Structure 1
Amino acid sequence: MTLFAALRLPREILFGKGQRHALPVVARKLGSRALVCTDERFAATAIFAEIMASLQAADINVLVHDRVLPDVPRDTVAVCVEEASAFQPDMVIGIGGGSCLDMAKCAALLITHGGKLQDYYGEFKVPGPTLPLIAVPTTAGTGSEATPVAVISDPDRTLKVGISSPYLIAMAAICDPELTMTCPPGLTAIAGADALTHAIEAFTAARRGSDHSLAQNHVFIGKSNLTDHFALLAIKLLGRSLEKACKDGSDEDARADVMMGALAAGCAFGTAGTAAAHAIQYPAGALTHTPHGLGVATMMPYVMNYNRSVSTNEMAEIGVALGLDAAGRSTDEMAEATIREISRLFAAIGITPTLAALGLAADKLDWTAEQAIGIERLIKNNPRPFDLTAMRRLIQAAYDGDLTASAQ
């Protein structure tokens, strides 16, 4: 057997309680002028003021852009870059949820290479390194601190769009679970379910071969031995602690598990990629205006059941990582139990169970299927192939809440 694997990660990852205090030292190695991207809510907190004071005490001049909006509307990036042009930053620091980190990636890109964001949509359109980026997540979900992707909303397009390039990976990721302690239960659930979906889709992604050109021509290249390691770690941590963190936000151990799980999931899917659950959420989310993490989690049990016939072994391994007892169970039985456990967990933390309950209109199912199957960079990662009929059937099953029908 010839092993093949690929992995693209930040140069430095710091994880643990209090690691935010390392930010000034990490930043000082990159220069003395920092553009900080965050949102209005976090900018108003005492902990943000403390972080800014620590940077200034390290003789780092700071320009704060504190108007990051959810889903990063395209034109808001140009506003941020224009404000920063005279400041001439040496680095960009993103502090906040996934949108804040994605704004920081986009700002670093345009400050360095100019042009418009539209010039970089897709894979490998970024021509070279950008300003160094430090990512400091305050939620535990997107994994953007470790991934090569920035997702934005373009007013000229119905669906959100992505910019995918290894040059967008943060120079350093500083993950301090104390920053997630004030996340409300609903946000904790949606973000954590997003992370668990990342991990499951990365672990069950298709193996795409070992051609030397694969990773040079594609950002997402399917599962490998290295991405599997991170995906299973994420599943283990999220399986044992996501429900706890949602029920008791003051549980420091649970918060640490969930944040480490989100980070590990980002490390996995940043190279392996995601698949059908994400492809369906793009059009479904555009129509229902629901949070990304909620939509992908709604779809996950149905997609797992669709893939079960070709991913039985992987599903069983996921069950073991979740802590299910494999004694006396066949691989098929473990796979079935795994899907039931994911459904149970998501129901326990308040994830919407069907596309109908998510608000998707019945007369939009065909359009949703057509759009989803057209997102090739995700569909090609799915372990079981799709045609339009199969996609339409899966979406109907998720709309009706018929888990059994999703396997057809």
Structure 2
Amino acid sequence: MGMFATGRSPRNIVFGRGQRQSLPGYAGQLGQRALVVTDERMGAEADFVAMMDGLRTAGLSIEIFDATPPEVPLAAIEQCVAAGRAFGPDIVIGIGGGSCLDMAKATALLLAHDGSPRDYFGEFKVPGPVVPLIAVPTTAGTGSEATPVAVVADSDRVLKVGIASPFLIPHTAICDPELTLTCPAGLTAIAGADALTHAIEALTALARPIDGQTTHEHVFVGKNGLSDTYARQAISHLSDGLARAVASGEDMAARESVMLGALLAGMAFGVAGTAAAHAIQYPVGALTHTAHGSGVACLLPYVMHFNRSHATASMAQVAEAMGVVVARDDDDANAERAIVAVETLFGEIGIPRDLEALGLKHDQQEWCAEQSMGAARLVKNNPRPLDVAAMRTIIKAAHAGRRDLLDAEI
């Protein structure tokens, strides 16, 4: 099979210090009535107030919804949609962390197509374009400013659920690393670790057989030429800047590297998809009530070890991107160096080293293994085939903090 590449991304991507000031120009191209979706903390920030003043000065009418909670529960989406319908926007602007951007995506969807978020759970359920979206991230992690996914919390389900459609990709992404300067060290670490996990899982994902229908039948098509390029660059930027950004939040160069890495990681996994670390995190997060980024990052070294025999060359590329290559002609040794480098970086920034430290009880492992298999879009993306027994093995090793327990199963 020859090279295959595909990409889906915002129509406009603008990155750099001070680029939040470009918001009025991009918004004015799309409409004159903007529903701005954010949270209470961001709504009180001077930078946010200045952006709103810029929109008003440019002649836009704005309505601010600043009650986005973590996890994006359906009841909050309904409140935001109600505010939007009363105002009648022709553009939705999400400003904040991943939850704010996902709230903006879900709101833009329902303003265009009505119904409930439940009507759109899964892939390709969105019937057409949504209200035009602009995404302005203030953390560097989820990459939601460039992805086709909105993750929400349904009170009728134990696990969070995703809406996946290319129609959810924002029209414009404005990434200003100065907006991350107030992000505390702990959140910087968790968000950045999430982004690195996105990039590594995208780069090591299964390369699937491709035909003319693949991109029409799958939102996430597996690793390909474009996603690999984005993922390698993301890994390089994140491994270079993340520890420095956590240690010194005022290090502007580090903040730039991390935010660019998170954006590129979003562009990589937004078409390639993620895999086992994300599949297992959903039940682990539901039981431990811990941050998504902490969970996927805690699991990543164990998932990499499990997958190494089926993604050796890709993991060697991880080592190269992180600058830890041992020998150019020894992919297996380089793959191990990549895993160690990930463990070292995550240890340095305070990611829990095992699931027990994350709060998962010993008797919860079996339930997690069973529930992990429910994330079909992630399971099918893993480079090594997964079943309940495989999930059980990964979770056991990750709970004990012992990668060597995986060796008996490989």
The TM tier, using the shorter chain, reads over 0.9
- 1:213 corresponding residue in structure 2: 213
- What does residue range 122-161 of structure 1 map to in structure 2 within 5 Å? 122-161=122-161
Greater CA deviation, 302-311 or 79-88?
79-88
- 1:37 corresponding residue in structure 2: 37
The separation in 2 between residues aligned to 1:324 and 1:75, in whole angstroms, is 47
Say whether the 8 Å CA contact 1:235–1:321 is kept in structure 2: yes
Residue type of the partner of 1:333?
Answer: A
- 1:56 corresponding residue in structure 2: 56
SS at match of 2:221: coil
Unaligned runs of 5+ in 1: none
- 2:401 corresponding residue in structure 1: 401
| Alpha-carbon shift at residue 289 of structure 1 (Å) | 0.3
Q: Percent of pairs identical after alignment?
A: 57
Once the two structures are superposed, what CA deviation does each residue of 1:57-94 show, in whole Å capped at 9, x if it has no partner? 00000100000011101111111111121210010000
Once the two structures are superposed, what CA deviation does each residue of 1:41-70 show, in whole Å capped at 9, x if it has no partner? 010111111010000000000100000011
Say whether the 8 Å CA contact 2:38–2:96 is kept in structure 1: yes
Provide the aligned C-alpha RMSD in A: 0.9
- 1:274 corresponding residue in structure 2: 274
The number of aligned residues is 408
Greater CA deviation, 372-381 or 252-261?
372-381
Say whether the 8 Å CA contact 2:327–2:334 is kept in structure 1: no
The separation in 2 between residues aligned to 1:301 and 1:279, in whole angstroms, is 14
SS at match of 1:9: coil
The separation in 1 between residues aligned to 2:132 and 2:370, in whole angstroms, is 38
Say whether the 8 Å CA contact 2:238–2:258 is kept in structure 1: yes
- 1:224 corresponding residue in structure 2: 224
Greater CA deviation, 207-216 or 303-312?
207-216
SS at match of 2:151: strand
- 2:345 corresponding residue in structure 1: 345
Say whether the 8 Å CA contact 1:313–1:331 is kept in structure 2: yes
Residue type of the partner of 1:70?
Answer: P
TM-aligned CA distance change 1:317 to 1:88, over 3 Å: same
The separation in 2 between residues aligned to 1:207 and 1:115, in whole angstroms, is 36
- 2:241 corresponding residue in structure 1: 241
- 1:262 corresponding residue in structure 2: 262
Say whether the 8 Å CA contact 2:233–2:261 is kept in structure 1: yes
SS at match of 1:29: helix
| Alpha-carbon shift at residue 329 of structure 1 (Å) | 6.8
| Alpha-carbon shift at residue 373 of structure 1 (Å) | 1.6
Say whether the 8 Å CA contact 2:137–2:174 is kept in structure 1: yes
Residue type of the partner of 1:86?
Answer: A
- 1:70 corresponding residue in structure 2: 70
Once the two structures are superposed, what CA deviation does each residue of 1:204-228 show, in whole Å capped at 9, x if it has no partner? 0000121111110111110000000
Say whether the 8 Å CA contact 2:90–2:132 is kept in structure 1: yes
The separation in 2 between residues aligned to 1:78 and 1:130, in whole angstroms, is 16
Greater CA deviation, 163-172 or 371-380?
371-380
- 2:110 corresponding residue in structure 1: 110
Residue type of the partner of 2:82?
Answer: E
- 2:164 corresponding residue in structure 1: 164
Say whether the 8 Å CA contact 2:39–2:100 is kept in structure 1: yes
| Alpha-carbon shift at residue 310 of structure 1 (Å) | 1.0
SS at match of 1:384: coil
Matched, 1:380 2:380: yes
- 2:87 corresponding residue in structure 1: 87
| Alpha-carbon shift at residue 327 of structure 1 (Å) | 3.8
The separation in 2 between residues aligned to 1:92 and 1:25, in whole angstroms, is 14
In the superposition, the TM-score normalised over structure 2's length comes to 0.98
SS at match of 1:36: strand
Say whether the 8 Å CA contact 1:303–1:406 is kept in structure 2: no
The separation in 2 between residues aligned to 1:344 and 1:370, in whole angstroms, is 30
- What does residue range 277-288 of structure 1 map to in structure 2 within 5 Å? 277-288=277-288
Say whether the 8 Å CA contact 1:146–1:169 is kept in structure 2: yes
Matched, 1:28 2:25: no
| Alpha-carbon shift at residue 326 of structure 1 (Å) | 3.1
The separation in 2 between residues aligned to 1:329 and 1:128, in whole angstroms, is 48
| Alpha-carbon shift at residue 328 of structure 1 (Å) | 7.0
Say whether the 8 Å CA contact 2:325–2:337 is kept in structure 1: no
Residue type of the partner of 1:292?
Answer: H
Once the two structures are superposed, what CA deviation does each residue of 1:1-40 show, in whole Å capped at 9, x if it has no partner? 5221111100000000111100000000011100000000
The separation in 1 between residues aligned to 2:144 and 2:401, in whole angstroms, is 31
Say whether the 8 Å CA contact 1:398–1:406 is kept in structure 2: no
The separation in 2 between residues aligned to 1:112 and 1:168, in whole angstroms, is 11
The separation in 1 between residues aligned to 2:214 and 2:25, in whole angstroms, is 37
The separation in 2 between residues aligned to 1:125 and 1:257, in whole angstroms, is 35
Unaligned runs of 5+ in 2: none
- What does residue range 330-369 of structure 1 map to in structure 2 within 5 Å? 330-369=330-369
SS at match of 2:92: strand
The separation in 2 between residues aligned to 1:327 and 1:124, in whole angstroms, is 43
Matched, 1:294 2:294: yes
The separation in 2 between residues aligned to 1:330 and 1:95, in whole angstroms, is 45
Residue type of the partner of 1:316?
Answer: A
Say whether the 8 Å CA contact 1:320–1:326 is kept in structure 2: no
Residue type of the partner of 2:331?
Answer: T
The separation in 2 between residues aligned to 1:249 and 1:385, in whole angstroms, is 40
SS at match of 1:308: helix
The separation in 1 between residues aligned to 2:127 and 2:387, in whole angstroms, is 34
